[in-house]
Amino acid sequence: MRRPPAPAPYDTTGRGPGEPPHATRSRPAREHRRPVPAAARAELLRRAERAPHPLALFAEVSARLRRLLPYDAAVWRATDPETGIMTAPVHTENADADGCAAYWDVELFAERVNRFPDLARRPVPVAGLWESTGGEPERGSVYGGFLRARGLGDELRMVLALDGRPQATVSLFRAEGRPVFGAADTAFAASLVVPLARRLRAYAVPRTPEPPGDTGLHGRPTPATPASGPDAAPAHDREAVPAYDPGTAPGLLLFDASGALVFADDTARHHLDRVPAAPAQPSGPGGPGVPAWLRGLIARTRAGHGPVRVRLRTRDGRWLTAHATALAGPGNGPGAGPGSAPGSGTAVVVEDARPSDVLPLIADAYGLSERELEVTTRIARGLPTGAIATELGLSPHTVRDHVKAVFEKTGTASRGELVGLLYLGHRAAP
């Protein structure tokens, strides 16, 4: 994290001449700001709605939010909604990759105050460090382990969650000497959580399909349109397997116990090139850069969270999964962390996501209920209405009602089109 600009125009602490910027200080004065005008908030949300992808949303919202709720540095991170684990993209302001790595070491191995998983479960998933510790930020590991050394005095954390599913996490930082984040700041930030989370969730909706006759990703022809009709089973050929393409094969990365990348095959490098931007930290002296989300994945594995998986949206609108597993060794497992005894490292497999991996994200983006998702998964298996009714203990009439509701929510008109949209990532050609 780069040291923020000098806070002279904003300094209300009365720190003595020559006092270092991170010296223990008295409680800083609060900034008495007027409430943010409703028109300014509405304009910020309009800009978010028009952002074409998550990285553009992060950049646009952060630029406008800084004018309404001043801060000196920020990190915006996309997350996997099922686990809350950081993915990509990551947008940073006044931050660097080394700082991001140090931050996550503290968060995963030491922090006890306002941890993102805990914050995500709160009714209001926004909290400031100073406010949460009663004016004693040293109670938070992030203060001594990250903020103080970088001339920062307070952090406001946000989890952009919808229905308990985190779409992103945000860290806003203020420099030592500036007023801390107060109740008004927290309340305004909280008012943005649901609309921003809803917009981020909507990005899982499959993008506009290729024109008829075009080929899909990696030059593979788009599948034929399956049969139609509410009660008809899909007619696509489940045995058809595309020709081998290195872009569809799993890629392997190996990291040693220190987190340095020691091996990456060409397929893994190809997959990582498809992922949106994120700060990257060199992997050892002269080594290639490792993106922040991958560093976080490795750190979670070393922290004893077991095999960890995240799903990532690629720049071309497809999906990848990354699986991290700790290799056998004394330095891995519960209690491991910075300074642990050497272990055998971490293996990460990156591959194209299976339809079953992505379906919950797409279904959530369309607002499908749990029952509608159950019906949809059985449609994809080729079951007719009667079989779905028997399997779910419903009447055929109720199943038809669910199918119609799914069609309406997804804008599809047939079972084949629905399967193509939710499982293959495109709408069937007319």
Supply the CATH number for residue 146's domain.
Answer: 3.30.450.40
| Rounded distance between C-alpha atoms, residue 208 and residue 367, angstroms | 19
Domain contains 263: yes
Domain contains 225: no
| Rounded distance between C-alpha atoms, residue 399 and residue 386, angstroms | 8
| Rounded distance between C-alpha atoms, residue 120 and residue 126, angstroms | 9
Percent of the chain with pLDDT over 70: 74
Q: Across residues 273-299, what is the average pLDDT?
A: 78
Q: What is the pLDDT of residues 291-324, one digit of tens each?
A: 888 888 888 887 776 788 999 988 888 889 999 9
Whether the Cβ atoms of residue 198 and residue 367 lie closer than 8 Å to each other: no
Q: Which two tokens stand for residue 82?
A: 């099922």
Residue with more model confidence, 70 or 340: 70
Q: Which of 334, 353, 372 is the last residue of a domain?
A: 353
Q: Which two tokens stand for residue 192?
A: 């943005």
Domain contains 293: yes
| Rounded distance between C-alpha atoms, residue 420 and residue 402, angstroms | 18
Tell whether 375 and 339 lie within a shared domain: no
The CA-CA-CA angle for residues 50, 53, 58, to 5°, reads: 85
Q: What is the pLDDT of residues 48-101, one digit of tens each?
A: 999 999 999 999 999 999 999 999 999 999 999 988 889 999 999 987 666 776
Single out the residue of 225, 240, 229 nearest to residue 427, CA to CA: 225
Q: Across residues 142-165, what is the average pLDDT?
A: 91
Cβ neighbourhood burial of 97 (10 Å; 0-12, 13-18, 19+): buried
Residue with tokens 């125009």: 9
Q: Which of 144, 167, 202 is the last residue of a domain?
A: 202
Domain contains 310: yes
Tell whether 340 and 408 lie within a shared domain: no
| Rounded distance between C-alpha atoms, residue 370 and residue 364, angstroms | 9
Q: What is the pLDDT of residues 172-199, one digit of tens each?
A: 999 999 999 999 999 999 999 999 999 9
pLDDT value at residue 8: 35
- For residue 420, what are the domain limits? 363-424
- 120 sits in which H/E element: helix 116-120
Tell whether 336 and 401 lie within a shared domain: no
Tell whether 198 and 330 lie within a shared domain: no
Tell whether 264 and 400 lie within a shared domain: no
Tell whether 175 and 263 lie within a shared domain: no
Tell whether 49 and 197 lie within a shared domain: yes
Q: What is the pTM of this model?
A: 0.76
Domain contains 245: no
Q: How many CA atoms lie within 13 A of 318 on its CB side?
A: 19
Tell whether 37 and 152 lie within a shared domain: yes
Domain contains 11: no
Tell whether 401 and 255 lie within a shared domain: no
Residue with more model confidence, 190 or 332: 190
CA 182 from centroid of its chain's CA atoms:
26
Q: What is the pLDDT of residues 111-144, one digit of tens each?
A: 788 999 899 999 999 999 999 999 999 998 888 8
Q: Is the pLDDT of residue 218 over 70?
A: no
Tell whether 94 and 173 lie within a shared domain: yes
Domain contains 237: no
- Asked whether the bond before 307 is cis by omega within 30 degrees of 0, the reply is no
Tell whether 155 and 280 lie within a shared domain: no
The CA-CA-CA angle for residues 97, 314, 48, to 5°, reads: 80
- Spatial strand order of the sheet with 261-264 comes to 261-264, 251-255, 346-352, 319-326, 308-313
CATH label of the domain that carries residue 407: 1.10.10.10
Q: Which of 178, 202, 226 is the last residue of a domain?
A: 202
Tell whether 146 and 50 lie within a shared domain: yes
The number of distinct structural domains making up the chain is: 3
CATH label of the domain that carries residue 329: 3.30.450
- 98 sits in which H/E element: helix 97-109
Domain contains 137: yes
